[in-house]
Structure 1
């Protein structure tokens, strides 16, 4: 039984669209526990629960179906993606639990490879694999429930940028476009390899660097694409100005965007965000890149301008594709994002 062909969608491109998701969450009961510092009402990257004046737990969960053919590679990507939310909030990963769905008739060695790949990334994160849960399903799916820790006074939220901040993106864009091309047998080996290496890359290293600098807001760019995550960062208080010429791109991603290798998730992102953003001066290809769902994407940082270049240089020691892509400005009329 072929591993990838069993899946109707894969990676973060399988996420429920942001508009639908907000509708599902709207009527859920609100927590009254004052120790729950961050919950689903905040649209932040993970939940945070305070245990003491100096210690809070970060809790997050992420899983999806495969977007690559090799099971071990899939395990690495899924684990790296699941742990990313902890790093985005300024925390360290403590331990993780496996979440597994697997077809009963599929070769069990493939499941073993998935789990080994995930364990490799958990080990790289200097965290512990503490258990998990598994069920039979018609499609393979894998991910982690992750617990991390952070000082409550040092939590980094996704929607607290300051006017004058500089925006840094730590990974190149184009994962969804390349994976779409790969599914159609149209992606080059160079593009596929670059996308896989990017998805496997832990955000741990960039997160460790950013702690030494005045980072006022941070989020990881995943299934909602750069623009929807940027909209969450801007909120109702500021306008983010993004320069498309400065965006780091994976090899051939722009070409695949020109060839309309867009994903269904990218179109859901567009439907959610385009009414709030003027796209009239942006090429169709760059529009697709901006909405492209990223599986295990990079961190988007809002950094104080006096230390932004120094912060970028520190991050680039381990993540050389990181780049300054824009700035945070005063609210411009009713626009949260301006794209150059």
Structure 2
């Protein structure tokens, strides 16, 4: 009999579902100093982008990000792998390539054995090795709940930087991974997800979004962001607000994990999903009569989710094929950007 508690039982939330609600985050950041006092800071907090970017010279930008959370799975190695993949994703979403990482670790050392903590760290190192980067250091504390993640540094050429605010009217929107990670996580908490579902979720959340670095070399790819804790609507809104455009999402074309719709209809969802809708629902137009479970899919917090890519319409078919060939079989065209009031309409 296992004498140690389940990892997920030690945390009040898990994965990117731990993020503060968008409205709370905006309130906390209100009144912060204007970053434009530093002209070399190309990307700061102004458009809620995925990472900070500092231009060193005419050929080099440094990209910096950090991401960490509590466990959404009970296997410690998988927790480490998922958290590392999620953190590195911010670099890819900006069009960069990662060069090194620092570990962030908080563990209840009186509740978890050292071997399990080592497995978490090993999982993170494994993903970093796959990305071709070292874990060059880090920091650890004794914490009441298990926390793990990375601070990641990357590089890109200024011409390859992709902000979330640079979408253009007429752009086609492509999503690279299936939605439903938060719903699967809620099912894990209640022992309602089978082994096949768990394997599917782990496979998705440990797939590196390195295709973002390749897409940034295309002039016809205008904007990229990764879809994480605020769901497809929340991160879509960041594109819409930044670019001053109306995004139209085609509900029927959104890719889903295999059991996402089934579990959503069985009322598996996270508290973060509800908080997300409360934070930004006023900026979204939904189809009349949309069921609550369908709305929960749209607000579902994704941990280590896919990239949302805005590209020129004439390039969409080729961009989609490039993404699928890079190992994203669920990638799909999910909508378009149009001139209009900033927000999202779900068709």
State if a TM-score over 0.5 links the two structures: yes
Deviations 1:159-190 (A, max 9, x none): 11111111000000000001101111112222
Deviations 1:191-215 (A, max 9, x none): 2221111111110135424534511
Deviations 1:119-172 (A, max 9, x none): 011111111211100111111110000000011222100011111111000000
Give 1:15's aligned residue: 19
Structure 2 CA distance, aligned partners of 1:80 and 1:197? Answer: 11
Instruction: Report SS of the residue matched to 1:94.
Output: strand
Give 2:153's aligned residue: 147
- 1:213–1:170 CA distance, 2 compared to 1 (3 A): farther
Is 1:211 matched up with 2:217?
A: yes
Give 1:98's aligned residue: 103
- Aligned pair count reads 338
Gaps of 5+ in 2: none
Structure 1 CA distance, aligned partners of 2:218 and 2:163? Answer: 16
Structure 2 CA distance, aligned partners of 1:38 and 1:205? Answer: 21
Structure 2 CA distance, aligned partners of 1:39 and 1:238? Answer: 21
Match of 2:275 among 233, 251, 268: 268
Give 2:196's aligned residue: 190
Structure 1 CA distance, aligned partners of 2:137 and 2:231? Answer: 31
Deviations 1:287-338 (A, max 9, x none): 110000000000000011111101101110111111100111121xx46211
Instruction: Report SS of the residue matched to 1:40.
Output: coil
Alignment of 1:125-204 (within 5 A): 125-204=131-210
Give 1:5's aligned residue: 9
Is 1:302 matched up with 2:314?
A: no
Instruction: Report SS of the residue matched to 1:51.
Output: strand
Give 1:292's aligned residue: 300
Structure 2 CA distance, aligned partners of 1:24 and 1:335? Answer: 22
The answer (yes or no) to whether the contact 1:74–1:114 under 8 Å persists in 2 is: yes
Gaps of 5+ in 1: none
Is 1:338 matched up with 2:345?
A: yes
Greater mean deviation of Cα atoms: 223-232 or 202-211? 202-211
The answer (yes or no) to whether the contact 2:212–2:224 under 8 Å persists in 1 is: no
Normalising by structure 2, we get a TM-score of 0.94
The answer (yes or no) to whether the contact 1:210–1:311 under 8 Å persists in 2 is: no
The answer (yes or no) to whether the contact 1:13–1:176 under 8 Å persists in 2 is: yes
Structure 2 CA distance, aligned partners of 1:275 and 1:33? Answer: 34
- 1:316–1:280 CA distance, 2 compared to 1 (3 A): closer
- 1:276–1:209 CA distance, 2 compared to 1 (3 A): closer
Match of 1:49 among 40, 51, 54: 54
